[in-house]
Amino acid sequence: MSVTFFTGQDIIEIDQAQLEELKRAAAASPLKRARLCLHQSHDDKVQEMVIAFHRGTYNRPHRHRNKTESFHAIEGDLLIVFFDDRGQVTRRIKMSPYGNGQTFLYRLSSSLWHTVVPLSEFVIIHETTTGPFVQDTSEFAPWAPLEDETEKVQKFFATLS
C-alpha cells in the first residue's frame, strides 16, 4: 500500500514544504506514491487527498462502481489512460498544472477501466472522490499485470504512450 498521512485537523493548509515531504515519502515508498488525506476518516462521504506519484509507480488498471473521482494537477505531467473491457486503450488524457496548455482538471463519473502514469519525475494531484473508503472495493482489470510482475508491467507501460 502507498504511504498515507492524515492531518487530523479541522483547518488544513498545504504549502511547498509539505509537498516536498510528500515527494520524499513517495520516492522512498515501495509503491512510489504517498498521499496526504484531507478528510478526517475513511468513513467521510467525501474523500479528498493530495497525492504524490514518483516516476515508475504502477497503478494497476481498475474501475470504481458507483463512485466519482476528480483530479486537479498541482505539479508535473500525468497521463490518464482509459480502457475497454478487453484492455484496449480507448482514450488518453495528458494532464499538467494550469497554464501549461494541457488539461489540468478531470472528472470521471462512470465505472471505466483506467490507470494513471506519471510522465515526469514527480506528479502531485489533488484528488476528490466519493466515500466512504472501503479497502478492496476497486475492481482490478483481469487483463492487466500484477504489481509484482515487473517485466510484464514494463511491457504494459510501453503500450500506453
The whole-number pLDDT of residue 42 equals: 82
Distance CA 15, CA 138 (A): 31
Confidence of residue 43 (pLDDT cuts 50, 70, 90): confident
Distance CA 99, CA 122 (A): 18
Query: Containing domain of residue 69, as a range?
Result: 3-158
> 145-155: per-residue pLDDT in tens?
999 999 999 99
Total domain count for the chain?
A: 1
Scanning the structure block, which residue is given the C-alpha cell 467521510?
44
What percent of the chain has a predicted confidence (pLDDT) above 90? 73
The whole-number pLDDT of residue 24 equals: 96
Confidence of residue 2 (pLDDT cuts 50, 70, 90): low
Confidence of residue 50 (pLDDT cuts 50, 70, 90): very high
DSSP 55-88: TT-----EE-TT--EEEEEEES-EEEEEE-TTS-
Q: In the chain, what is the greatest distance between 2 CA atoms, to the nearest angstrom?
A: 44
Separation in Å, CA 17 to CA 14, 24, 61: 8, 11, 31
The domain spanning residue 118 has which CATH number?
Answer: 2.60.120.10
> 16-32: per-residue pLDDT in tens?
999 999 999 999 999 99
> 86-123: per-residue pLDDT in tens?
999 999 999 999 999 999 999 999 899 999 999 999 99
- Whether 9 shows a pLDDT value over 80: the answer reads yes
